[in-house]
Amino acid sequence: MTGQPAPRFAVSIGVWAVALSVYVLAVFHRSSLAVAGLAASERFDISASQLATFTMLQLLVYALMQMPVGLLVDRFGPRTVLLTGLAMMTAAQTLFALADSYALALLARVVVGAGDAMVFICVLRVVSSWFPVRRIPVFTQLTGTVGQLGALAAAAPMTWALGAVGWTRAYLVAAALGLLIGVAVLLVVRDSPEERHVRGPSTSPRALVGGLVEAWRLPGTRLGFWVHFCTPFSANLLTMLWGYPFFVKGEGRTPGEAGLLLSLMVLTFIVAGPVIGWYIGNNPWHRSTIVLSVVAAMVLTWAVVLAWPGSAPMWLLVVLVVVVAIGGPASVIGFDIGRTSNPVERLASATGIINQAGFYATLLLVILVGVVLDWRTPGGGTDYPPEAFTWAMSVQFPFWALGLLQTWRYRRRARSALGGVATQVPATF
């Protein structure tokens, strides 16, 4: 915004809220398979590895599209890309509701991932355009936090819907929500207070690649990447696919208790997000310290749960989901680091680079957990013994080790490059 009066705060809130509703729906679509995993195994007669392929392909498409989507947002503006993503998710969930074969269901999840990939970067761009600098960290965290209401709706309510109305009707209702939200986006969302559509300059493919390279060269972008790599994958692993089977088969909990634990995870995310956003807005020099502390807590808690003789007590599982859930809002710190490390014309591109990290980690872990479960389950099938989950969930630890090492490494590099390019607030880490 140059030389224009700041938009009224209420108007900014309205535009953000409608854009945010698309992200809430995207998180719901992304997470809706978590409580339907066992039902999907029966519906399509598939193994654990084949079940993991649903989420694997969805995450792979999501991660691979992050940099292209960032370039699209910089070129065509967030409103256009947001509507495109919403249309793709609506069509994909309709196909998933009606699919009667494993191949069609896989195709549907691929398209869900492609549409989902277009949403979060758009909403963050709306935040940076509609709010003053001092409010951006808080609303960035609120975006990630409120978006988790979609995961909350995909926990207990989706469990109920699958049992009460069946697979097809439950997913058709979910798809229909996209039509209603699409109308609201068309009527309310603008790319900036001055213009409904903001278009970036048309550039050559070589120039686009050059912009991505320049963004990646900055230590702050790499620090944001590794922050996002090591913080969200454990929560994603549980909420997107393996949490419900882990609590029911691995820890001997009832379906109702498993649903409550997953719901508590989302509620914790919602409470922790604004607190972290407020804190880093006032203390940006502690951002990477918060990340390192949160990851250390996740490592310790998972180690205790997996080493516990027999099933872990309910209080310990509550501690686990609370600690793991905090990794979600901690991952958003990576975007704030990227924002303060890049010029505004590369903001969406840098965000795309950072946003892919946690999803690549989640993708690999979803695959590995499925493979290990099949390996440690006698005779195959979905009757996983608790010992199989102990082995499977342990594959997270090497990922944390790599993420912690790289976060520490690039924190030092970013701090030594404080005199480089920064925007909006001092580039402190």
Q: Do 121 and 355 meet the contact criterion of CB atoms below 8 Å apart?
A: yes
What is the C-alpha to C-alpha distance for residues 339 and 423, in angstroms, rounded to an integer? 7
Domain 13-189+211-416 has CATH 1.20.1250.20: yes
The DSSP secondary structure of 368-425, one letter per residue, reads: HHHHHHHHHSTTSSS---HHHHHHHHTTHHHHHHHHHHHHHHHHHHHHHTTTS---SS
pLDDT at 90: 94
pLDDT at 146: 84
Residues in the chain, total: 429
Residue whose tokens read 């699409």: 182
What is the C-alpha to C-alpha distance for residues 154 and 174, in angstroms, rounded to an integer? 10
pLDDT at 1: 43
Query: Based on the number of CB atoms within 10 Å of its own CB, is 157 exposed (0-12), middle (13-18) or buried (19 or more)?
Result: middle
pLDDT at 420: 43
User: Mapped to the 3 state alphabet, what secondary structure does 202-227 carry?
Assistant: CCCHHHHHHHHHHHHHCHHHHHHHHH
Distances (CA, A) of 419 to 219, 411, 414: 12, 14, 10
pLDDT at 83: 94
What tens digit of pLDDT does each residue of 371-409 get?
A: 898 888 877 666 788 899 999 999 999 999 999 999 999
pLDDT at 261: 92
What is the C-alpha to C-alpha distance for residues 161 and 157, in angstroms, rounded to an integer? 6
> What backbone phi and psi angles, to 5 degrees, belong to 192?
-155, 165
- Give the residues of the chain that fall short of pLDDT 50: 1-3, 419-427
What tens digit of pLDDT does each residue of 9-26 get?
A: 888 899 999 999 999 999
Q: Do 175 and 93 meet the contact criterion of CB atoms below 8 Å apart?
A: yes
Closest by CA to 195, choosing from 346, 423, 15, is: 15
pLDDT at 7: 63
Residue 364 has a CB neighbour count (10 Å cut-off) of 16
pLDDT at 381: 66
pLDDT at 209: 75
Axis-axis angle for helices 102-116, 48-76 (nearest 10) = 30
pLDDT at 418: 59
Strand (E) or helix (H) holding 109? helix 102-116
pLDDT at 23: 94
pLDDT at 3: 46
Q: Do 156 and 32 meet the contact criterion of CB atoms below 8 Å apart?
A: no
Distances (CA, A) of 377 to 3, 11, 22: 65, 55, 39
